[in-house]
Amino acid sequence: MNGAHLHLLVNHLPVIGSIFAILLLVWSLARKNTDIARAALGLFVIAAITGIAAYFTGEPAEHMAEEIAGVSKNAIETHEESAELATILLGGYGVFALGALIYLRKRAIEFPRKLVTFALLLSFVPAGAMGFTANQGGKIRHPEITGAGAPMATSGASTDVAGHEDSDRAPEGRRAPRR
């Protein structure tokens, strides 16, 4: 396993974890359930830790990606800059979530609606930053995201790599009968 592989392995965790934690916060509000809120906050702590791991595995991945033909160094730099901010935001939110967990653990109170509502509203900032960062990272190797991919055939006939039309296709895009 190399640095790029490790980065690709962990970089989805803070994004998906944040989304799932937001859904848990919404569910906890709907059910007025402190245990679900605790689970959501705990998941945000885990998402923050994995966000930090994704950030620190990014540097080795950057060195490998820069050597690949067709990879834009500008796209890598844009991703790296947004990753730094997203990691700080998610890390800070993780500290907040950990503090909220400690607060909830020490108190046997009824459902903390104000705290959970605040946590939910605040969570959109780091989750949005992580989503934006993930999109920027995707642009490094996925031209379909940027719209810079090869133009698609519009005549209904498929083409091979050299640009030759597939002789097994009829002009309307239906398969021609086999000979």
Q: Based on the domain organization, do 165 and 84 belong to the same domain?
A: no
The C-alpha atoms of residue 74 and residue 139 are separated, in whole angstroms, by 10
With beta carbons less than 8 A apart as the criterion, state whether 97 and 119 touch.
yes
The C-alpha atoms of residue 54 and residue 79 are separated, in whole angstroms, by 12
List helix spans (H) across 66-142.
73-106, 113-141
Q: State yes or no: pLDDT of 11 exceeds 80.
A: yes
Query: What is the pLDDT at residue 61?
Result: 82
Q: Based on the domain organization, do 25 and 83 belong to the same domain?
A: yes
Q: Give the lowest-confidence range in 7-11, 35-39, 104-108, 163-167.
A: 163-167
With beta carbons less than 8 A apart as the criterion, state whether 60 and 5 touch.
no
Q: Based on the domain organization, do 158 and 125 belong to the same domain?
A: no
pLDDT confidence bin for 168, thresholds 50/70/90: very low
Query: What is the pLDDT at residue 149?
Result: 54
The domain tally of the chain equals 2
Q: Based on the domain organization, do 98 and 11 belong to the same domain?
A: yes
Q: Give the lowest-confidence range in 8-12, 87-91, 170-174.
A: 170-174
Q: Based on the domain organization, do 163 and 114 belong to the same domain?
A: no
Range of the domain at 165: 151-179
Q: Based on the domain organization, do 17 and 81 belong to the same domain?
A: yes
Q: Based on the domain organization, do 157 and 75 belong to the same domain?
A: no
How many C-beta neighbours within 10 Å does residue 3 have?
16
Q: Based on the domain organization, do 142 and 155 belong to the same domain?
A: no
Q: Based on the domain organization, do 46 and 22 belong to the same domain?
A: yes
Q: Based on the domain organization, do 106 and 160 belong to the same domain?
A: no
Q: What are phi and psi of 25, to 5 degrees?
A: -65, -40
Total residue count of the chain as it appears in this document: 179
For the chain, helix, strand, coil in percent to 5 are 70, 0, 25
Give this prediction's pTM.
0.76
pLDDT in tens, 26-58: 999 999 999 999 999 999 999 999 999 999 988
Burial of 167 (0-12, 13-18, 19+ CB in 10 A): exposed
Q: What is the mean pLDDT of the chain?
A: 82
**Which residues are paired to 165 by β-bridges?**
159
For the segment 64-86, the average pLDDT, to the nearest whole number, is 84
Q: Based on the domain organization, do 142 and 161 belong to the same domain?
A: no
Q: Based on the domain organization, do 161 and 73 belong to the same domain?
A: no
Query: What is the pLDDT at residue 178?
Result: 55
Inter-axis angle of helices 113-141 and 34-65, to 10 degrees?
20
The C-alpha atoms of residue 138 and residue 132 are separated, in whole angstroms, by 10
Biggest CA-to-CA distance, the chain: 79
pLDDT in tens, 99-147: 999 998 877 678 899 999 999 999 999 999 999 999 988 888 776 766 6
